[in-house]
């Protein structure tokens, strides 16, 4: 052991991380870096190209017959061997990890192939043949509430999955008495923190013991262990869940691997072999988890001076296609914090949860905070603008006054500590707010678009496992039994050479837990951090854990660090008693320092720590049982985390940091691009254990927030097609896009945690998006602005009305779907009757449908064809189904075509009109087409191009076939994607 | 996300590449740098029967001044051209545009001709070839031909190359005395394909503006010596004529506006640097 | 070179971190999979498999390149360096690796190998980069943990130290 004399306090220092040497030399141990047992098989998953469709038939014979394929599983197989995942609201609805009767979002698993290699498994996916019967999709959460909207889950009868109303104080009276009522409505978009390592797992099933053993880069919360064990139909002690030593980031997202643990677990059971599945990036973007999108209307009752007396929240939460555990947690995580950093006594809330045909939602850094603060802090800016007040004054006037902590919010949170006004004032001064105002004035004088944004926020951490039950009524909660608390665990053990090992169930994903725990325990036992070995790979069969275990809700520093301190303290107390007996001094005289246990007044009267620590292994007979020190496990659940009250007050989190941000943003007049000129972020996260890591959490969270504000969105077409299926369309910012924020701190320790620490990693994801939006709104003088703040969106507010086109306009359409619209005309040297006959003739159709391999006539007005379509090198074989309707011989006909294939599907309708024209025919057409499927997700612009090419080819061929090709025909066509 | 199966041949000379193309036509795909082809293979968007690696064909390497042209072989990587000492003098437009092509980590492998072959409408290299009136040298077992960039880019990722043809090289006219060049691009992030990219060449009383990222192919417009409102009107007509794309990242209206504004700025920049 | 048939595995040989290596690969096998699962060099990570994120960046014939955009068979005969070859000797980190540790320029460490390979190559060719040039170069990588601030600091610090003591590695 390398202990040397020291009097250093390790906590509070930016020591080098113990994790880094291995990670920097390529010796990390991430899940896909670990070897597997001989005979391990590899899974690949076939996913739905449709947002909503009935599964009419799944043919897997060809896939099963491919050499190397061990099994092909569909929803029916999974239903046989598992049960539905438990759903977090009281509703007659199931949640399976694979589609059973229908698909409800693009990317939903439909079949699993298990094969000798991933390459072969993907070959087999190509051979699975599925008949989908498309259903209308619902994408917009407001539209989903319409009684006429398509319903996703028949058991619910509608798309509304949960609705609750809450009332705190006397909001009606406050609104009635208010000088002003000011409101905002916002639509928070979907996004995800997309960790660099995707999901991965290796599952095994032991038939002899009816037990599962799964290694996965899951991150908790381990309440989901119970969900998985129940789905796999085994007792908790027969579902052993382990995690690898390293995990490549999570930010909440790796909670979402849990349905795949069930899915691949069943695959392992069916094949009798270990099965490994590593999610690829396309799967991750389409079908891991997303943060929720939310539509919020927030209204304030405001005094003339900007003081807010009451808030009325109306939140419509979109959880996607399933209510997957732990949803609707995103909506309730912030419930105690709906008044933010402000002293507001009266609150009403309406919360609704709705289902739509999009990826199911789950944990994501900030978890509910970004959605809440976007509404609240946009509102604070609107109050300042509408009442012509300085936004600085409006925030300051409403902050919870100094000296009022712990402070109980109207909705039930107990804000543990802080001095918000002091932190606010320090930030304005040290962040040079006055000079930012000068900078803005100068920019504006030069005609530049420059705005300033401000945001105050409370950052909750260490969530109360009971908050989610606020989604239930008090009666439902009484029936289910109260849920509360947040058990943290840590084990400290001594080995026979006196070494110290710490085991925790915190499941780090890069946050340096091993380093910080070594600091904490080294301080406690008077050792060097290098003397402490910390083990964080987790094993539910061996480690101490509880449902709150895991790496979420910024709980590490406050809860896990605290539990380690408690466990270490218990070991220390035993060692101290042992040492007191040996050194002949009182226990209160014993100190641990410099690798020694010694008498405080006489440092020479000392024992080496290692010798004392080894004693209970070698000579237990010499030590009274109560002094023996071998291993201590501490469980810690703070008493402040109580269940929701009968009045629905909930202390949703234990710790509450404070953030105050401000920024200057300039908008380019030509491109509409927003440039962050300066960004200041003040944090009070209690006691700082490791400044370097705290800085890393802030800059990392800030980068995620800049991404969410300016670049990233999981976008869907109106038909539910998924539009951001690659990192070329889901835009994660790089070093070129992320500036360095100025970080300021105030430390007011939490009285509720053993080390005074609070969480810090999520705050900027809550504060920064709205701070940037406030600056943009200021720069462009906008009443309302939603994320992401894309250049094209902002330019729409700068460029003004467009000059009229010099010639005939293309049909004006906007939107981000895959809808195509086009019109065109051509002249043919044949009379309308001839053209008409040709259009109804399979022989003609075979000749003019691009890439047709033959046309089969089903009826006079219904044809089927196999076609090869493509653009450039991207070609594929498709089935085309063509129907003619609204026949008006020989004047007009509507062609309805549906094309389906592995790369995507398209449906379109075109009205063709024939007009006699000087012995020939004028053919005009007008079409609409929608495109979905794989290519829509990963290369939408390819599809637009392809569809336009195909449609043009069709009409060009029609003209050619009738002998009427005219020079410049194509040049006269115009159509555009919309 | 793994490619479907294909044969692989490492061509030792041009004849071997021609033979593979003649035998397999559209089922053969040339791989040079692979920076665009590889993701399409991994996503199984492209399923060739055979992949023909031409990077070991010595005759396809090298950048050479050839009369009034600079000839860039199919094996020349983008980074190699960027580091070529004559670039700023002879091909100032490419000198300005190449740093916008992907990232250093992809330019290290990606080739100039490969980008042309792929014909992405948002890519910088096809745009520059069009603006500079470059010529592509195509060859097959049946013979050789030259195609101008204007004739080569026929549609979204579609070119005039026949299935049995290999792009051997691209020839780009050297900068004539007195010409001025400018390049501007706007994308969501640096290194992304352009939402709008503009390349302008000004020489005497002629001005050429090429724009990329807007329509299915890069597009070229001659603007002569127009200035003032006449130039604005001409750019407006050009913008409307482009059949601008509307997508997730930008509306058609936005693209047209950038053609007008960034186009004008680029023209003025090119005119200002005529020497 | 003969035509390599799609369904068979073929011997691929190259130099990896100074040593001759060989293993079997189908023509379609990606270099990432070959390095990681055939040769056991798991330090190179796979983040997107479509060439955007940069996690899989290795040095091929002296320049940084995406190994996910390279077939194993294309690399036959090449000289490849990966993160396992960066440290000057076991137990000692390179100047760049040290700087990353000192500045907390990594958190989960998943993207780090690719960034190190890029920067190692870059700093050899550009020993005195401007902050903007370095940032642009780093723009070829995605890191989701750090917000890039400490990576920039580590790279600038490493460049400075390498200039001051050019004999260090």
Q: Which CATH class is domain B7-53?
A: alpha beta
How many domains are contained in chain C?
2
CA A397 to chain centre: 34
Interface of B with A in 77-136 (CB under 8 A): 118-119, 121
At A920 the pLDDT is 86
Mean pLDDT of A879-907: 85
Chain A environment of B248 (Cβ under 8 Å) = 715, 723-724, 729, 816, 940
Residue A307 lies in a domain: yes
Report pLDDT for A899: 82
| Residue A80 pLDDT class (50, 70, 90 cuts) | very high
Q: Which of C3, C55, C59, C113 to mutate to test the interface with B (most CBs of B within 10 A)?
A: C3
Over pLDDT 70: what percentage of chain A? 95
Same-domain status, C76 and C130 = no
Cβ within 8 Å, pair C64-B104: yes
| Chain C residue with Cα closest to B5 | C6
- Nearest chain C residue to B17 by CA distance is C3
Give the pLDDT mean for A342-351.
Answer: 98
Q: Is residue A478 part of a domain?
A: no
B216 with A816: Cβ contact below 8 A: no
Pair (C64, C119) in one structural domain:
no
Q: Distance between CA A245 and CA A535 in Å, rounded? A: 8
pLDDT of residue A941: 66
User: In this structure, is residue A713 part of a structural domain?
Assistant: yes
Q: Please check whether residues A572 and A450 belong to one and the same domain.
A: no
Distance (Å) from the alpha carbon of C102 to chain A's nearest alpha carbon: 6
Looking at A443-564, which runs of residues are DSSP E strands?
Answer: 449-463, 488-494, 500-504, 532-535
Structurally, chain A folds into a number of domains equal to: 4
pLDDT in tens, A570-608: 999 999 999 999 999 999 999 999 999 999 999 999 999
N residues, chain C: 169
pLDDT category of residue A809 using cuts at 50, 70 and 90: very low
Where among A287, A320, A348 does a domain terminate? Answer: A287
pTM of the model: 0.95
Domain identity same for A232 and A373: no
Of C83, C113, C134, the domain-final residue: C83
- Tell me how close the Cα of A849 comes to any Cα of chain B, in angstroms: 19
| Pair C131, C71 in one domain | no
A369 shares its domain with A305 = yes
pLDDT for A972 equals 31
Q: Do C49 and B1 touch (CB under 8 A)?
A: yes
Calpha distance A382→A184 (Å, rounded): 8
Domain residue spans of chain B: 7-53, 61-173, 180-272
Residues of chain B contacting A806 with CB distance shorter than 8 Å: 236-237, 240
Which secondary-structure segment (H or E) carries A433? Answer: helix A433-445
Residues C99 and C79 in one domain: no
Q: Do A196 and C150 touch (CB under 8 A)?
A: no
The distance from CA B182 to its chain's CA centroid, rounded to whole angstroms, is 16
Q: Give residue C148's domain range.
A: 95-163
- Give the pLDDT confidence of B143-188 residue by residue, as tens digits: 999 999 999 999 889 999 999 999 999 999 999 999 999 999 999 9
Is residue A215 located within the same domain as residue A180? no
A808 found inside a domain = no
- Judged by a CB distance cut-off of 8 A, whether residue A511 touches chain C is yes
Q: What are phi and psi of A865, to 5 degrees?
A: -150, 150
Gap from C97 CA to chain B (nearest CA, Å): 20
Shared-domain flag, residues A461 and A595 = no
pLDDT surpassing 90 at residue B275: no
Under 8 Å CB-to-CB from A523, ≥6 apart: which residues? A9, A10, A11
Contacts of A30 (CB under 8 A, 6+ apart): A197, A200, A217, A244, A246, A247, A248, C42, C45, C110
A360: domain CATH number is: 3.30.365.10
Edge-to-edge strands, sheet with B28-31: B7-10, B50-53, B28-31
Full domain range(s) for residue A894: 819-977
Q: Would you say residue A955 has pLDDT above 80?
A: no
Mean pLDDT value across residues A614-640: 96
Chain A contacts in chain C segment 23-42 (CB below 8 A): 26, 28-29, 36, 41-42
Interchain CB contact of A812 with C (< 8 Å)? no
Residue A728: list chain C partners with CB under 8 A: 50, 52
- For residue A896, what pLDDT band results from cuts at 50, 70 and 90? confident
| CA distance linking residue A330 with residue A340, whole number of Å | 16
Nearest chain B residue to C140, by CA: B103
Q: What are phi and psi of C7, to 5 degrees?
A: -90, -5
Cα distance from C169 to chain A (closest Cα, Å)?
14
At A157, the pLDDT band (50, 70, 90 cuts) reads very high
Nearest to C65 among B55, B99, B108 (CB): B108
- Scan residues 62-81 of C and list those with Cβ closer than 8 Å to A: none
| Structural contact between residues A329 and A255, judged by C-beta atoms closer than 8 angstroms | no
The pLDDT, as a whole number, for residue B181 is 98
Gap from A17 CA to chain C (nearest CA, Å): 7
C118: closest chain B residue by CA? B105
Domain B61-173 belongs to what topology? 3.30.465
| Bond from prior residue into A221 cis (ω within 30 degrees of 0) | yes
- CA A866 vs. chain centroid, Å, equals 40
Q: Is the pLDDT of residue A815 over 60?
A: no
Closest in C50, C144, C149 to A249, CB measured: C144
Report CB contact under 8 Å: B38, C54. no
| Chain B residues within 8 A of C7 when measuring between CB atoms | 5
Report whether A150 contacts A136 (CB < 8 A): yes
DSSP one-letter string for A304-349: TTS-EEEEEEEEEEE-TTS--TTTTHHHHTTGGGTTTTB---EEEE
User: Same domain, yes or no, for A270 and A383?
Assistant: no
The pLDDT tens digits of the residues spanning A829-877 come to 888 998 888 888 888 878 887 778 878 888 888 988 888 877 778 877 7
pLDDT in tens, B71-124: 999 999 999 999 999 999 999 999 999 999 999 999 999 999 999 999 999 999
Q: Which residues of A touch B190 (CB under 8 A)?
A: 734, 736-737
C5 touches chain A (CB under 8 A): no
**Are A451 and A532 part of one and the same domain?**
no
pLDDT of B266: 98
CA-closest candidate to residue A88, choices A291, A413, A322, A364: A322
pLDDT for A847: 80
- For residue A141, which of A89, A100, A190, A176 has the smallest C-alpha distance? A190
Q: Which residues of A touch C151 (CB under 8 A)?
A: 735
CB-CB under 8 Å, B245 with A942: no
- Region B38-42: what's the mean pLDDT? 95
A-chain residues near B216 (CB < 8 A): 945, 948
Work out the burial of residue A668: count CB atoms within 10 Å of its CB; fewer than 13 is exposed, 13-18 middle, 19 or more buried. Answer: middle
- What would the mean pLDDT of A179-202 be, rounded to a whole number? 98
Orientation of helix A763-780 relative to helix A369-386, angle to 10°: 30
The residue of chain A with its CA nearest to that of C148 is A735
Subunits in contact with chain C (3 or more CB pairs closer than 8 Å): A, B
Q: Are residues A619 and A504 in the same domain?
A: yes
**C168 falls within a domain:** no
Q: Which residue from B minimizes the CA distance to A278? A: B1
Within-domain flag for A153: no
A10-36 mean pLDDT: 97
- Whether C1 and chain B come into contact, CB under 8 Å, resolves to yes
Chains that touch B (3 or more CB pairs under 8 A): A, C
CA gap A294, A822 in Å, rounded = 34
Above 90 in pLDDT, residue B221?
yes
Same domain membership, residue C79 and residue C16: yes
The answer to whether residues A875 and A966 belong to one domain is yes
Angle at A368 between CA A363 and CA A370, to 5 degrees: 115
Decide if C28 and B3 are in contact by the 8 Å CB cutoff: yes
The backbone region for A797, taken as left when phi is positive above 0, alpha when psi lies in -120 to 50, beta otherwise, is: alpha
Same domain, C41 and C104: no
CA atoms within 13 A on the CB side of A513: 33
Claim to verify: residue C139 and residue C77 sit in the same structural domain? no
Domain boundary among C58, C83, C108: C83
How many helices (H) and strands (E) are present in chain B, helices listed first? Answer: 11, 14
Q: Are residues C74 and C14 in the same domain?
A: yes
Q: What percent of chain A has pLDDT over 90?
A: 81
CATH code at position C44: 3.10.20.30
In a domain, C43, yes or no: yes
The pLDDT of A910-918, averaged and rounded, is: 88
Q: Provide, as residue numbers in chain C, all residues whose Cβ is less than 8 Å from the Cβ of B56.
A: 1
> Do both A666 and A713 map to the same domain?
yes
Residues C116 and C51 in one domain: no
- The mean of the pLDDT values for chain A is 92
Q: Does B226 touch chain A (CB under 8 A)?
A: no
Do C125 and C79 lie in one domain? The reply is no
State what percent of residues in chain B have pLDDT above 90: 93
For the domain that residue C137 is a member of, what is the CATH number?
1.10.150.120
Q: Quote the minimal CA–CA distance from B26 to chain C in Å.
A: 17
A728 near C CB under 8 A: yes
Residues C22 and C77 in one domain: yes
pLDDT in tens, C44-100: 999 999 999 999 999 999 999 999 999 999 999 999 999 999 999 999 999 999 999
Contact A248 C45 (CB under 8 A): yes
Helix A513-525 / helix A561-583 crossing angle, nearest 10 deg: 30
Does A317 lie in the same domain as A435?
yes
pLDDT of residue A1: 38
Residue C80 has φ and ψ, to the nearest 5°, of: -125, 135
Least confident of A24-28, A451-455, A726-730, A860-864: A860-864
Rounded CA-CA distance A364/A329 in Å is: 11
Identify whether the C-beta of residue B199 lies closer than 8 Å to the C-beta of residue B265: no
Shared-domain flag, residues A240 and A250 = yes
Q: Domain with A54 in it: what CATH number?
A: 3.90.1170.50
Beta-bridge partner residues of B200: B182, B209
| Closest Cα in chain C to A508 | C108
Question: Looking at the complex, does the CB of residue B229 fall below 8 Å from at least one CB of chain A?
Answer: no
Whether B245 and A977 lie within 8 Å, measured CB to CB: yes
**CA-CA distance, A697 to A846, in Å (whole number)?**
62
Interface test mutation site (partner A, options C100, C144, C148, C152, max chain A beta carbons within 10 A): C144
pLDDT of residue A836: 87
Q: What rounded mean pLDDT belongs to chain B?
A: 96
Half-sphere exposure for A392 (CA within 13 Å, toward CB): 12
Phi, psi of B95 (to 5 degrees): -60, -35
CB contact under 8 Å between C28 and B31, yes or no, is no
Residue C2 included in any domain? no
Domain B180-272 grouped into CATH 3.30.390.50: yes
């Amino acid at each position: 052991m390398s202990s040397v004399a020291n009097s250093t306090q390790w906590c509070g220092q930016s020591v080098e991380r113990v994790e880094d040497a291995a990670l920097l030399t390529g010796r990390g141990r991430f899940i896909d870096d670990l070897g597997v047992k001989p005979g391990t098989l590899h899974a690949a998953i076939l996913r739905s190209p449709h947002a909503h469709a009935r599964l009419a038939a799944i043919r897997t014979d060809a896939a099963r017959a491919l050499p190397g394929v061990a099994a092909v599983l569909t929803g029916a197989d999974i239903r046989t061997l598992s049960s539905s995942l438990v759903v977090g609201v009281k509703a007659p609805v199931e949640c399976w990890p694979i589609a059973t009767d229908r698909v409800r979002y693009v990317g939903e698993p439909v079949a699993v192939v298990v094969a000798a290699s991933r390459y072969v498994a993907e070959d087999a996916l190509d051979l699975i043949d599925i008949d989908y019967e498309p259903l209308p999709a619902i994408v917009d959460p407001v539209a989903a509430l319409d009684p006429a909207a398509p319903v996703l889950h028949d058991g619910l009868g509608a798309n509304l999955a949960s609705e609750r109303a809450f009332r705190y104080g006397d909001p009606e009276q406050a609104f009635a008495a208010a000088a002003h009522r000011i409101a905002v409505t916002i639509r928070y978009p979907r996004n995800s923190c997309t960790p660099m390592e995707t999901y991965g797992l290796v599952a095994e099933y032991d038939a002899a013991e009816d037990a599962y053993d799964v290694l996965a880069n899951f991150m908790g919360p381990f309440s989901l262990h119970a969900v998985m064990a129940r789905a796999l139909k085994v007792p908790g002690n027969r579902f052993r869940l382990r995690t690898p030593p390293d995990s490549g980031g999570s930010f909440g997202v790796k909670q979402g691997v849990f349905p795949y643990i069930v899915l691949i677990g069943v695959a392992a059971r069916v094949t009798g072999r270990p099965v490994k599945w590593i999610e690829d990036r396309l799967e991750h973007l389409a079908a891991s988890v997303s943060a929720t999108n939310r539509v919020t209307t927030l209204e304030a009752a405001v005094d003339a001076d900007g003081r807010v007396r009451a808030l009325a929240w109306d939140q419509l939460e979109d959880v996607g296609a399933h209510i997957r555990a732990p949803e609707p947690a995103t909506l309730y995580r912030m419930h105690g914090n709906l008044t933010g950093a402000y002293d507001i006594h009266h609150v009403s809330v309406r919360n609704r949860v709705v289902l739509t045909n999009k990826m199911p939602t789950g944990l994501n850094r900030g978890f509910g905070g970004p959605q809440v603060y976007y509404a609240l802090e946009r509102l604070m800016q609107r109050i300042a603008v509408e009442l012509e007040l300085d936004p600085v004054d409006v925030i300051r006037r409403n902050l919870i006054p100094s000296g009022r902590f712990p402070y109980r919010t109207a909705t039930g949170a107990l804000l543990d500590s802080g001095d918000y006004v002091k932190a606010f004032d320090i930030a304005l001064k040290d962040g040079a707010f006055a000079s930012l105002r000068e900078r803005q004035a100068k920019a504006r004088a030069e005609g530049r678009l420059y705005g300033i944004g401000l945001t105050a926020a409370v950052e909750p951490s260490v969530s109360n496992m009971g908050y989610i039950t606020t989604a239930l009524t008090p009666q439902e909660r009484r029936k289910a039994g109260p849920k509360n608390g947040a058990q943290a665990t840590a084990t400290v053990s001594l080995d026979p050479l006196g070494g110290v090992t710490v085991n925790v169930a915190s499941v780090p994903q890069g946050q340096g837990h091993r380093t910080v725990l070594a600091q904490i325990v080294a301080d406690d036992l008077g050792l060097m951090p290098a003397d402490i070995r910390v083990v964080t790979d987790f094993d539910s069969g061996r480690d101490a854990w509880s449902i709150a275990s895991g790496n979420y809700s910024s709980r590490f520093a406050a809860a896990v660090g605290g539990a380690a301190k408690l466990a270490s303290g218990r070991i220390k107390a035993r060692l101290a008693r042992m040492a007191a007996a040996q050194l002949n001094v009182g226990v209160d005289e014993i100190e641990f320092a410099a690798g020694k246990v010694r008498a405080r007044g006489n440092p020479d009267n000392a024992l080496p720590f290692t010798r004392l620590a080894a004693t209970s292994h070698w000579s237990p007979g010499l030590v009274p049982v109560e002094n023996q020190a071998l291993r201590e496990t501490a469980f810690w659940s703070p008493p402040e985390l109580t269940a929701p009250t009968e009045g629905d007050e909930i202390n949703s989190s234990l710790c509450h940091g404070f953030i105050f941000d401000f920024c200057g943003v300039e908008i380019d007049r030509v491109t509409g691009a927003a440039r962050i000129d300066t960004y200041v972020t003040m944090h009070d996260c209690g006691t700082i254990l490791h400044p370097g890591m705290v800085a890393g959490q802030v800059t990392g969270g800030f980068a995620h927030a800049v991404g969410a504000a300016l670049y990233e969105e999981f976008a869907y077409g109106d038909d539910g097609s998924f539009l951001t299926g690659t990192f070329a369309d889901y835009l994660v910012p790089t070093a070129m896009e992320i500036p360095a924020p100025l970080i300021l701190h105030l430390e007011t320790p939490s009285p509720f945690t053993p080390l005074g620490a609070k969480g810090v990693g999520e705050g900027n994801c809550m504060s920064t998006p709205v701070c940037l939006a406030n600056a943009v709104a200021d720069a462009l003088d906008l009443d309302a602005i939603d994320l992401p703040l894309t250049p094209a969106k902002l330019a729409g507010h700068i460029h003004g009305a467009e000059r009229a086109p010099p010639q005939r306009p293309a049909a004006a359409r906007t939107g981000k779907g895959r809808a195509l619209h086009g019109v065109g005309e051509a002249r043919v040297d044949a009379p309308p009757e001839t053209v008409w006959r040709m259009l109804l003739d399979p022989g003609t159709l075979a000749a003019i449908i691009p890439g047709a391999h033959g046309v089969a006539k089903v009826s006079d007005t219904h044809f089927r064809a196999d076609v090869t379509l493509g653009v450039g090198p991207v070609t594929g074989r498709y089935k085309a189904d063509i129907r003619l309707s609204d026949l008006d011989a020989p004047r007009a006909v509507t062609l309805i075509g549906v094309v389906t294939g592995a790369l995507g599907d398209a449906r379109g309708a075109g009205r063709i009109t024939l007009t006699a024209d000087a012995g020939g025919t004028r053919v005009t057409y007008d079409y609409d087409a929608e495109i979905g499927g794989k290519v829509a997700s990963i290369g939408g612009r390819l599809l637009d191009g392809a569809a336009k090419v195909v449609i043009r080819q069709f009409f060009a061929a029609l003209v050619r076939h009738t002998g009427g090709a005219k020079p410049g025909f194509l040049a006269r066509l115009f159509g555009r994607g919309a | 996300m793994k490619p479907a199966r294909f044969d692989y041949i490492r061509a030792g000379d041009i004849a071997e590449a021609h033979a593979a193309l003649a035998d397999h036509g559209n089922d053969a795909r040339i791989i040079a740098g692979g920076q665009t082809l590889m993701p399409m293979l991994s996503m199984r968007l492209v399923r060739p029967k055979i992949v023909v690696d031409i990077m070991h064909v010595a005759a396809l390497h090298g950048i050479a001044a050839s009369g009034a042209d600079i000839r860039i072989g199919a094996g020349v990587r983008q980074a190699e051209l960027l580091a070529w000492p004559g670039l700023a003098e002879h091909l100032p437009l490419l000198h300005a545009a190449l740093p916008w092509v992907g990232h250093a980590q992809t330019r290290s492998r990606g080739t100039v001709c490969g980008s042309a072959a792929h014909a992405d409408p948002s890519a910088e290299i096809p745009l520059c070839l069009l603006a500079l009136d470059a010529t592509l040298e195509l060859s097959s077992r049946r013979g050789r031909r030259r195609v101008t960039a204007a004739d080569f880019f026929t549609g979204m990722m579609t070119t005039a190359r026949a299935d049995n043809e290999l792009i051997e090289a691209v020839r780009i006219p050297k900068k004539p005395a007195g010409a001025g060049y400018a390049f501007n691009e706007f994308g969501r992030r640096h290194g992304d394909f352009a939402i709008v990219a503009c390349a302008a060449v000004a020489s005497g009383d002629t001005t050429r503006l090429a724009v990329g990222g807007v329509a299915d192919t890069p597009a070229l417009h001659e603007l002569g010596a127009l200035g003032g409102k006449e130039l604005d009107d001409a750019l407006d007509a050009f913008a409307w004529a482009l059949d601008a794309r509307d997508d997730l990242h930008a509306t058609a209206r936005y693209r047209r506006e950038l053609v007008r504004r960034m186009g004008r700025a680029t023209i003025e920049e090119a005119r200002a640097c005529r020497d | 070179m003969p035509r390599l048939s799609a369904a068979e595995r073929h011997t691929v040989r190259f130099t990896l971190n100074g040593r001759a290596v060989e293993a079997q690969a189908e023509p379609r096998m990606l270099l990432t999979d070959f390095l990681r699962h055939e040769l056991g060099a798991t330090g190179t990570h796979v983040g997107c498999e479509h060439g955007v994120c940069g996690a899989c960046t290795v040095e091929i014939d002296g320049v940084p390149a995406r190994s996910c955009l390279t077939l194993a068979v294309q690399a036959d005969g090449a000289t490849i360096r990966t993160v396992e070859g960066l440290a000057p000797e076991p137990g000692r980190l390179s100047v760049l690796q040290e700087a990353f540790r000192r500045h907390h320029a990594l958190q989960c460490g998943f993207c780090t190998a690719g960034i190190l390979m890029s920067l190692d190559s870059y700093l050899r060719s550009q020993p005195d980069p401007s902050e903007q040039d370095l940032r642009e170069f780093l723009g070829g990588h995605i890191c989701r943990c750090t917000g890039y601030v400490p990576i920039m600091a580590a790279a600038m610090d490493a460049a400075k130290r390498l200039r001051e003591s050019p004999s260090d590695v």
